[in-house]
Structure 1
Amino acid sequence: MLLLGLLIILVMVGCSSDNDASSDGNSGSDEEVKLTFWGDWTGDGEEQINHMVEMFNESQDRIEVEYVIQEDLITKFMTGITSGQVPDVMIWDRWRTALYAPKGVLHPINDFMDEDSVSDGDFYNEALKELSYGDKLYGLPLTVDARALFYNKDHFEEAGLEPPTNWDELREVAKKLTIKDGNDLERAGFSLMDLGLFSMWLQQAGGQMMTEDLSATAYNSEDGLEVLNFWNQLIYEDGVYKPGFDKGLEGAQHPFITGKVSMHYTGPWDVQTYNQYSDQLNYGVVPPPAGPDGDKGAVMGGYGLAITEASEKKEAAWEFIKWWLADPEIALEWGKTSLNLPGNKVALEDPFFQDDPFWKPFVDTLEFATIRPQHPGYPVAEVDALIPNLEKFVLKEQSAEETLEKAQEAGDRMLEENEAE
C-alpha cells in the first residue's frame, strides 16, 4: 500500500509540473501556447503589426500570437486586471512606465535579458531608461523617434539659403522666407504651433524640465526665459509666424504641403505622409538647430513591447518580444515594413536608414535626444500646468516671467499630487 501511495503521489506531481509548464509557456512543453497581444494601432499600423505576428507564428510551431485591437488600451488594461481579462503582451507607450510600473501591472524582463544574453548596448540607453522604473526594466523598445526640422527645399533655393544649424541662423532664415501682404501672413517662415516642444527648446537653451533629483520643475529659469524671449522675437518682432496660422489643417491641406509654411518641427511619422505629395512638395530634413551656446536638444519618444504581470505565459511572451526586437534582422524588417525607426540600434546601422536623406537626420538626432523626466506626475504637470500657460504667453495674455512662475507653481503641486505610492 505504501508503494502504491508513493506512485500515485509521483504521478500527481508529474501532472502538476506539466500543467505549470504549459500555463507559463515553458519551452519544455509540447503543447502550443497562445498569446494575446493588445495594441491600439489600427489601419496601416494594424497591417504592419499583423505582418510581424504572422512572421513569428510561421517561424516556429510552439507559440501562436493573436493581435487584438483595443481602442481605449490603458483603460481596458487597468479594468481588465480586476476582471482577469488581460493580455500577455502589450504595445506600450514608453512614457507611461513611470506611472504604471509602480502599480505592479508590468513584469520586469531583467532575468530574461540575462538568461538569453540580450545586450543593453543594442538599444538606445534613453529608450531603455524610459522603459525602466527603479532598477527594473519593463520591456524593449519597439520604435524610437524625435523631432527634426523639415524645410521646403524650393523656398530655400529661391532665397539662396542653407538649412539653419543654430538659433541665430533659424531666426534669420525664417525672416527671409516669410511672406506678408500688409499685416496678413501669407507664408510663415517657421511654424511655432507645437508648444509641447518647449522641453526640446529648453534643452537647446541649456536647461532642464525638472531638477536632478526629480523633486520639482526646473523650467522657471534663465534658460526658460531665453526660450520664451526667442519665441517672442520670432512671433512679434520678426513676424515669421502668427498663432493659429496653421492650426487644424491636415492631409493635403497641411500648410507645409501647400507651401504656406517653410520650416517646422515634426517626427519621422510624417516622412511617409509627405512623400505621398512629392509631386508638389520638395522637402528636406535636418537635425534640430543648436541653442545660443551650442547646446543640442531633442526629446526621444516611441513605443515598446511589455509583458503584463498578470500573464501566465511570461516565458512565451518574452520569446515573442525577443524574436521581434532583439534580432537586428527582424527589427530591420519591422522598420522597412512599418517605416518606423526600430528600437534596435544595430538595425539602424543598415543602409536603408543610413543612406536615406529623410531617415539619416533622425538617426543623427537620436544620438543626443533624451527622454522626458521619469516622474509619475510629469506628464500631468506638462499638459495641465505648463502648456496652458505657454498658450497664454504666445497670445500675449501674460508675460514670460508670469508664465513660468504660474507653470512652476501649478506643476510642482501636480508633481506632489502624483508621487508614486
Structure 2
Amino acid sequence: MTTAMLAGCGKTQTGGSDGASQGTTPAGTEKEADASSAGSGEKAELTMWGSWSGDQVAQLEKQLEGFNNSQDKYHVTYMVQDGMEQKLLTAIASNEVPDIVLWDRFNTGVYAPKGALASLDDYIAKDNVDMTQFYAPAVDEMTSAGVVYGIPLTVDSRVLFYNKDLLDEAGVDPASITDWDSLRDAAIKLTKWDGDKLVQSGFSLKDVGLFNNWIGQAGGKMIDDSTNPPTAAFNTEAGLTVLKYWDQLLNQDKVYQLGFEDGFGGDGFKAGKVAITFNGPWTLESYKEAGLNFGVIGQPQGYNGEKSAMMGGFGLVIPNGAKNPDASWEFIKWWTMQPENGVEFCKISGNLPANKEAAKDPYFMDDDILRVFSETMDYAGIRSKVFGYSDLEGLALIPQLQKYVAGEITAEEALSNAEKQGNDILAEAAQQ
C-alpha cells in the first residue's frame, strides 16, 4: 500500500531556497492568491479537509463555529474525505487543494518529502512561536528533514480501562494494578469459566498490534535506526519476554480466549464481559453512553520497572499550493496555541490537546479519568519515523504475531520470520 501511495506522489511543486525539503513550497509564499488580504470586507471562505466522519463531524463543526464567531475575517468549513491522503495528492496535481488539513501526524514522514505539505518554518519564526508548548514527540512527528510541516492538535494513548463493578465483585483494588505481575494476578481473579466456556475475561488480549507498546515496557524497541538501512530490533530477549507473558495469560492462566469478543461486536468490555482492556480516549463517550461504570489506570510497568506508551494523534497542516495560507495559519494558531480552545474541543469531543498548558488545565487534572491520560503523555513516545515502518508492522510483524497466539508457530519463529520480512521491507523502502 505504501509503495502505491508513493507512486502517486510524482507531481510536486518546486521548493524554495530556505532549506525546505525538495518539492515543498513554504507556506506564505503564494500570497497573491491569499483571500485573507483581499480587503473585500467579506469573510474569506476556508475549507478544511479531514478523515473524521460520523459523530466526529458535528464535534468539529461545533469547534469551527467557535472560531468563525470569534472574528470577522475568516469562515472555515469542514469536508470529510475518504482516502484523504491520496485525494490530497490528486488535488495538488490539479491545483485544487483545501486550505487546511486535519492530519494524522504519522503520515508526515511519507508525504512531506513528496511535496504534499507546506513548510511552516517561516510562520513559526515570524510569530516567534515557542514549539516547546507542545509535547515534544508530537512536534517531532510533524517534522521531516528538520522542517516543521504542521502544528500538533491532539494527542492520545491507550491506558487500562477497568469495569468497577466487576473488580468490586472480585475484590480487586484497581490501585494495586501497577505492573505486569499485578495485572496478571487481577486478570486471573476476574476471569470466569463455565466448564469449557469462557463467560468473563479478566483481560483482553485481542490486539496483537499493541506489541509496540508492550516491548517498550519490556525494555526493548521496534527499530534500530543506527544502521543503514534501519533494521528490525524486536527479535530480542525483550520481544520474547512479551510473547512469553502473552502465552502465560492466554494458555496457562486462560484469562482470555481468541475470538471471545467477536460475539460482542468486537468490544467485550463495552458488553460488560471483559474486566480490563487497553483502549484510548476516543472510546470515553461511547462507554459512558453504554452506561458502563468504569475507571482507568496508567500503563503497567514491565518486570524491570520500565514505563512506556505510544502517542498518537492529529495535527493541522497547510497543503502545498493552498490559496489562503495566511488565513489558514491564523486558524491554526487559534486552535492550537490558545489553550482554552484546546480544552473546549476536549469538552466537545474527548480528544486531549497537544498543547501542554491546555493539558494541565483543571478540567483534566480534576477529572479522575482525563488526568490519567494526561499524565501518560509525560512518558509516551511516537512510532518510528523510519520509512517503511508502517509496512513492517502491518505486513511483517502482526501476521506473525497472529500465527503465534493462534498456536501455529513458536515465539522464536514469529519474531525471526517477522525480522527477516521486516528487514526486506525497510531495505526496499530505503531505496525509494
Q: TM-score, normalized by length of structure 1?
A: 0.91
Q: Secondary structure at the match of 1:308?
A: coil
What amino acid sits opposite 1:267 in the alignment? G
> In the alignment, does 2:191 pair up with 1:178?
yes
Deviation at 1:109, TM superposition (A): 1.1
Contact 2:234 2:415 in 1 (8 A): yes
Counting only pairs closer than 5 Å after superposition, residues 105-254 of structure 1 correspond to structure 2 as 105-163=116-174, 164-213=177-226, 215-247=230-262, 249-250=264-265, 254=267
What amino acid sits opposite 1:193 in the alignment? K
Q: Secondary structure at the match of 2:193?
A: strand
Runs of 4+ in 1 over 6 A off after TM superposition: none
Q: What CA distance in whole angstroms lies between the structure 2 residues aligned with 1:420 and 1:186?
A: 50
Deviation at 1:274, TM superposition (A): 0.7
Equivalent in 255, 263, 271 of residue 268 of structure 2 = 255
What amino acid sits opposite 1:93 in the alignment? D
Q: Secondary structure at the match of 2:160?
A: strand
Alignment partner, residue 48 of structure 1: 59
Deviation at 1:312, TM superposition (A): 2.6
Deviation at 1:315, TM superposition (A): 1.6
Deviation at 1:359, TM superposition (A): 0.9
Q: What CA distance in whole angstroms lies between the structure 1 residues aligned with 2:75 and 2:200?
A: 53
Number of matched residues?
399
Q: What CA distance in whole angstroms lies between the structure 2 residues aligned with 1:260 and 1:211?
A: 39
Task: Compare CA radii of gyration and give the structure with the larger one.
Answer: 1
Q: What CA distance in whole angstroms lies between the structure 2 residues aligned with 1:213 and 1:91?
A: 32
> In the alignment, does 2:76 pair up with 1:65?
yes
What amino acid sits opposite 1:184 in the alignment? K
Counting only pairs closer than 5 Å after superposition, residues 348-359 of structure 1 correspond to structure 2 as 348-359=359-370
Deviation at 1:248, TM superposition (A): 6.2
Alignment deviations for residues 253-306 of structure 1 (CA, whole Å, 9 cap, x no partner): 83213321111000011111111122xx22110101100000001100011111
Deviation at 1:34, TM superposition (A): 2.6
Alignment partner, residue 23 of structure 1: 33
Alignment deviations for residues 341-385 of structure 1 (CA, whole Å, 9 cap, x no partner): 122111111111111111111111111110000012111110110
Contact 2:202 2:256 in 1 (8 A): yes
Contact 1:271 1:358 in 2 (8 A): no
Deviation at 1:21, TM superposition (A): 4.3
Q: Secondary structure at the match of 1:364?
A: helix
Alignment deviations for residues 111-137 of structure 1 (CA, whole Å, 9 cap, x no partner): 212211221121100111111112111
What amino acid sits opposite 2:186 in the alignment? V
What amino acid sits opposite 1:317 in the alignment? S
- The answer for unaligned runs of 5 or more in structure 1 is 1-19
Q: What CA distance in whole angstroms lies between the structure 1 residues aligned with 2:263 and 2:125?
A: 48
Alignment partner, residue 363 of structure 1: 374
Q: What CA distance in whole angstroms lies between the structure 1 residues aligned with 2:120 and 2:371?
A: 31
- The answer for unaligned runs of 5 or more in structure 2 is 1-29
Q: What CA distance in whole angstroms lies between the structure 2 residues aligned with 1:87 and 1:392?
A: 43
Alignment RMSD: 1.8
Q: What CA distance in whole angstroms lies between the structure 2 residues aligned with 1:169 and 1:242?
A: 20
What amino acid sits opposite 2:241 in the alignment? E
Q: TM-score, normalized by length of structure 2?
A: 0.88
Contact 2:264 2:271 in 1 (8 A): no
What amino acid sits opposite 2:246 in the alignment? W
Contact 2:36 2:73 in 1 (8 A): no
Deviation at 1:143, TM superposition (A): 1.1
Greater alpha carbon shift after TM alignment, 377-386 vs 74-83: 74-83
Deviation at 1:249, TM superposition (A): 3.0
